[in-house]
Structure 1
Amino acid sequence: MCCVSVFERYKSYSPYDMKESIRKEVKGDLEKSFLTLVECFENKQLYFANRLYEAMKSKGAKEKVVTRIMVSRCEVDLMKIRTEFRRQYKKSLYQTIAEHTKGDYQKALLGLCGGDD
């Protein structure tokens, strides 16, 4: 049974969805961990798109987060992450990287990104 189906079935038995139940019942690092798992089960590519956006939206991109995601996902599902990023934020991941990074780091990330959408 798919995780999303499990979440739908849970909702039919509970007045709350899975995320609401976690927020009500668990706090701290365990809450954050469970919510992350649910987000990944629901839409892994959107989860990574959100993490990239959050890491780059302020001045001085959180380089470790961006690098870890870009390197680990570039050959797996980066095209799908790029699609989710554009759908969610109305701009391309490539464009966002170009705006929030510079120098050799920017060149490396843009190379991993593989082009503008």
Structure 2
Amino acid sequence: METTKNFFPQTSRLRSKSDFSNVFLKKRSHSGRFLRCYYRKNSLSVTRIGIVVGRKYGKAHERNKFKRIVREAFRLYDQQNFPMDIVILPLKRNKSLQYEDLSKDIWQLLRKSYKRLGYH
């Protein structure tokens, strides 16, 4: 049986409060059409992502759907592992937002973050 990377591993996630705080303290950020991205270099060999969605965004199932879409887009884009931490936040609630819109925005934010940190 062949194994494929169809899951989002724990090593690719920001998990602790201190991990999130360290990213926010660096204050390096930029925005896309739908998302804001905070980022910083880390001492690991992988890119880790954290997602913050407040209650203003919507009900729990809407917030969870947003997070699932962001994780999936990140998983599909994550072809190169650069040592950095990224926190993604929605700019505003948009019920008509599609997977394609979010994934395109995430890919642009990731490319921009990689370039600003000196990766190619």
TM over 0.5: no
**Higher relative contact order (Cα pairs below 8 Å, separated by 6+ residues):** 2
Normalising by structure 2, we get a TM-score of 0.25
Normalising by structure 1, we get a TM-score of 0.26
Higher strand share: 2
